[in-house]
Amino acid sequence: MAVKNLYKGVWNYPAKIEKEYASAFSLNQAKKIMVDRISGKQHVHPSTVWNWMKQHPPLWDVKLEIEWEEVAK
């Protein structure tokens, strides 16, 4: 059985820095979760956030924060 890991995302907007954490099975899933949360907070469509990310690659980052490992007993 797969285990979710903890990911941390940072978005450096001109007005403020946005940080998000997400438990997910993959980096792509974590990005989607975070984009959905940010778009909800900003009251915009998720595609707006995705487009901003494409246009400003050095201003955001999502990385693995904690990797969990399942140990069989």
When divided into structural domains, the chain yields a total of 1
pLDDT of residue 69: 86
Q: Which residue has the tokens 């959905």?
A: 36
What are the residues whose beta carbons fall under 8 Å from the beta carbon of 22, sequence distance 6 or more? 6, 7, 9, 29, 30, 33, 34, 37
Pairing verdict, β 60-66 and 17-24? unpaired
Name residue 20's amino acid: E
pLDDT by residue, tens only, the chain of 73 residues: 688 999 999 999 999 999 999 999 999 999 999 999 999 999 999 999 999 999 999 999 999 999 988 887 7
- In a domain, residue 71? The reply is no
* 28 domain-assigned: yes
User: In the prediction, which pLDDT does 21 show?
Assistant: 98
Domain assignment of residue 56, given as a range: 5-66
Task: For residue 34, give the 3-state DSSP assignment.
Answer: helix
Give me the pLDDT at residue 23, please: 97
